[in-house]
Amino acid sequence: MSFYQAFEAYLKGEDNEITELIVSDEKGDAKERMNIYRDAYALRLIDILFGDFPTIHQILGDEAFFEMAQKYVKTYPSTAFTVRYFGQHLAKFLNDEAPYSSHPYLSQIADFEWAKGTVFDAPDTPIFTLEQLVNIPAEAWPNATFEFVPAMVRLVYDYNVPQIWQAIQADEQDHMPTPLENPMPWVMWRKALNPHWYSMPADEDWMFIHARQGKSFAELCDGLTTWHDEDDVAPRAAEVVRRWIDEMLLVNIKF
């Protein structure tokens, strides 16, 4: 094991071999000196979590958040050179670990906050515009497929997560977590440099899932017959596609 490998293993709490390579002095022995580095490293990771999950911090409070973050650092030690993705497992951690797992909304809010960072950091792409629709011949629409922006995720929550987040950001007192009768699907994407989101009714959610899988417009229309009469299918499908265009969710419509 090289010096740098041993150093990394010590910081992660995996091995103490590095202490044999460190010189002791009057300020402290090798173990004491390495503990300083390890504690500073852990504090840096905890600081990352404070920045990535401000709403979870606000809900738990300083002390409880710090305690939770310490447990997370030990459960999911950093394995990458960048700390950008260090918090990617926090939602799972909160869902799996007591006492947080007894409050399911915590995991879902963490997932929501992580999604905001994900869409914010995603690469830019050209946006399909309403003006480009004239380039699609009417006879080509049955085979048309849809390409969505990469700065976008589909989320499903069984608590009123976005409302909780918005209430806390607005410093409102009424942000009680409320379980929903049925899980609610959301789409979150980056628009004008900021994350945006809206809830999708069941028919649009079905279209969204299958359009991302490469289904054609004709196949999407066939699926909508679950919710709509045959005469209403095409207008409803067109309405959803128009919304995707207006919200800047599409990169291209291929035909």
Mean pLDDT over 218-247 rounds to: 98
Residues 6 or more apart whose CB falls under 8 angstroms from that of 160 comprise: 177, 178, 180
Q: What is the C-alpha separation between 64 and 97, in angstroms, rounded?
A: 14
Q: How confident is the model at residue 81 (pLDDT cuts 50, 70, 90)?
A: confident
Q: What is the C-alpha separation between 248 and 255, in angstroms, rounded?
A: 19
Does 32 score more than 80 pLDDT? no
- 145 strand-pairing partners: 254
Does 21 score more than 50 pLDDT? no
Does 69 score more than 70 pLDDT? yes
For the record, the structure tokens of 47 come out as 């600081």
Give the pLDDT of residue 15. Answer: 52
**112 with 211: CB under 8 angstroms?**
no
Does 246 score more than 60 pLDDT? yes
- For residue 83, how many other CB atoms are within 10 A of its CB? 15
> What is the CATH code of the structural domain delimited by 124-255?
3.90.930.50
**51 with 117: CB under 8 angstroms?**
no
What residue ranges do the domains of the chain occupy? 1-86, 124-255
Mean pLDDT over 104-110 rounds to: 98
Going along 111-176, which residue ranges are E strands?
Answer: 145-148, 152-159
Strand 194-199 and strand 179-191: the pairing is: antiparallel
Give the pLDDT of residue 3. Answer: 37
Q: What is the mean pLDDT of the chain?
A: 88
Give the pLDDT of residue 25. Answer: 53
**pTM of the model as a whole:** 0.83
